[in-house]
Amino acid sequence: MPKFDTTRPVAHRAEQMFDLVADVESYPQFLPMCESLKVRSRKERDGKVLLIADMTVGYKLIRETFTSQVLLKREENIIETKYIDGPFRYLDNRWQFVPDANPERSTVKFYIDYEFKSRTLGFLMGSMFDIAFRKFTEAFEKRADAIYGVDGKSPIA
């Protein structure tokens, strides 16, 4: 039952970080172990967006695909992910983007709690998932730096 919870200040606006994490189709370009991500459906209602997405993760010869429900709450700067189907017993993930007193900065809060259905798969991939999840916020921050620039300087093309 691994859990990971972190709070990280970043040099980007909360809205920018929300947009970056909400752009799930781009994950394979920069996220550790993410090989593909396909959005099955997208529904908008009451200012919120609900996605159903399949994500394939891999490490060496092991590949697993799982389906999640992703709820984008732009007004609250929150993204919640709930597990639907795949190799997990459960997976809960939450992102929160908190504006800073400096409007060009924010704090990113990331939480994930999961457990594999199979002890064997948990043994084979568990430590790699743990390492990857610990690098998620760093990966998103690096992606934000590449897209939005660093310290107000435009990104280098």
Alpha carbons 8 and 83: distance in angstroms, whole number: 24
Q: pLDDT tens-digit profile of 83-100?
A: 999 988 999 999 999 999
pTM: 0.87
Q: Is residue 155 part of a domain?
A: no
Strand order in the sheet with 34-45: 3-10, 106-116, 88-99, 78-85, 62-73, 48-59, 34-45
Q: What is the pLDDT, as a whole number, of residue 119?
A: 81
Q: What is the pLDDT, as a whole number, of residue 109?
A: 95
Q: Is residue 157 part of a domain?
A: no
Alpha carbons 125 and 75: distance in angstroms, whole number: 35
pLDDT > 90: percent of the chain? 61
Q: Is residue 86 part of a domain?
A: yes
CA-angle at 149, arms to 151 and 137, nearest 5°? 90
Q: Which domain holds residue 123?
A: 3-148
Q: Is residue 66 part of a domain?
A: yes
Q: Identify the CA nearest to 44 among candidates 17, 22, 25, 72.
A: 72
Structural tokens at position 145 = 């730096």
Q: pLDDT band at 153, cuts 50/70/90?
A: low
